[in-house]
Amino acid sequence: MKTTFGNLTESSTPVLIDFYATWCGPCQTLAPILEDVKKDLGEKVKIIKVDVDKNQALAQKFQVRGVPTLMLFKNGKQLWRQSGVLTRADLKQVVEKHS
């Protein structure tokens, strides 16, 4: 069964979307930070990585102009968005604020 982006963001659990590119240095810096946030928060958050080169239509739809761009969704609504690398503490705070 193929899951659509809309289905993923409809969750009552916060969904953190990471728009990234394989060639992007800051995206590579962010990857282990996201893994740590997932370890810390467990089931309180879903983290989904979207490669902008492979998903250009989706990146265009959300007007992603630079990578990494992070977005937080809950119940189908975008609650937060920011471009660039964030610290583990800052990301956890954003997710917990919207949990």
Q: Mind telling me the catalytic residues?
A: 24, 27
Beta bridge partners of residue 87, listed in sequence order: none
d(CA 9, CA 29): 25
Burial class (CB within 10 angstroms; exposed 0-12, middle 13-18, buried 19+) of 69? buried
